[in-house]
Amino acid sequence: MIDQHPPPPLGSGTLSGVPVSTSSSEAASAADLAAVAELLGRVPRGVVGIAHRCPCGRPDVVETAPRLPDGTPFPTTYYLVDPFAASAISTLEASGLMRRMQDRLATDLELAAAYAAAHEDYLARRARLGSVEEIEGISAGGMPTRVKCLHALAGHALAAGPGVQPFGDEALELLAADGGWPATCPHGELAGVPPLTDPPA
Ligand SMILES: [Zn+2]
């Protein structure tokens, strides 16, 4: 089981329908959704786009609707769906990195301002997907004043690109410096998951 919080937006249904994207993310193709289902082991619900891809082309961050098809509010718009990525970030979390990050917010005003701006960026991106009253003003990962989930922050950093999500950027830089994901594709080791037959153009 992947140690990731909140739990993924899993469903037990079959892949059906044509997903639409109302944001800057790419629309998810049927091949993308199949790849995500293979990575997660189940079909994700509420996917409206692909926010980031592994170097091999597999989706590693999906953009999820702020309200799932069953009505559940879902604040984690940018969700890491790759088990290698989730595991690498769990290792960083276990190292105590989040506590050190949060401590820095108290003394580094520039960092605190950047983190607050990242919170606003997250809300603005999600607002383009629709308004959900229950999660209004609530972003993800502990923003704007706490650091509670590096998975959510790294997902945001990958979706937004460098310079928007300071702690997500830091986490990704640490992982890249180790040479693994996201610098290189880990999926050569992923037995049972065939290469995508429908790679992105
Ligand atoms: Zn890959």
Full-model pTM: 0.83
Ligand 1 center from residue 60 Cα (angstroms): 8
Ligand 1 center from residue 54 Cα (angstroms): 5
Burial class (CB in 10 A: 0-12, 13-18, 19+), 77: buried
Ligand 1 center from residue 18 Cα (angstroms): 24
Burial class (CB in 10 A: 0-12, 13-18, 19+), 148: middle
Q: What does the domain layout of the chain look like in residue ranges?
A: 20-81, 91-177
Residue-wise pLDDT tens for the chain (201 aa)?
344 555 566 543 333 333 444 456 788 888 999 988 988 888 788 999 999 999 999 999 999 999 999 999 999 999 999 999 999 999 999 999 999 999 999 999 999 999 999 999 999 999 999 999 999 999 999 999 999 999 999 999 999 999 999 999 999 999 999 988 998 998 885 545 554 544 444
d(CA 64, CA 49): 7
